[in-house]
Amino acid sequence: MARALRRLHPSFWAPFVFGPASRGDYSVPVSHKHDEFERASEVDLAGFEVETDAQGHHYAVRKEDLPKEAV
């Protein structure tokens, strides 16, 4: 029996092992909660500016490290 289950696709045997998937109500909009960690991340990321070099590579630079005319 176990040998036969190994050959089957996981989408076939997973509900038998783990139970049915609980997907919730599709009609309810997704609510994104902004907790303290997310607010702290937004504050930290606000101190960076995205720069692009001549080859098109993107990188972050701290705003305090930029020349005064660039800020």
Number of domains into which the chain is organized:
1
The answer to the question of residue 38 being in a domain is yes
Report pLDDT for 3: 64
The answer to the question of residue 41 being in a domain is yes
Mean pLDDT, the chain, rounded, equals 81
The answer to the question of residue 58 being in a domain is yes
Report pLDDT for 23: 74
pLDDT at 5 over 60: no
Report pLDDT for 52: 93
pLDDT tens digits, one per residue of 18-48: 888 777 777 888 777 788 998 999 999 999 9
Q: Which of 3, 20, 2 is nearest to 11 (CA)?
A: 20
The answer to the question of residue 8 being in a domain is no
pLDDT at 15 over 70: yes
Read off the DSSP letter of residue 26. Answer: T
CA distances from residue 68 to 37, 56, 63, 65, 71 in whole angstroms, order as listed: 30, 23, 9, 9, 6
Range of the domain at 48: 33-71
Give Cβ neighbours of residue 61 (< 8 Å, ≥ 6 apart): 48, 49, 50, 51
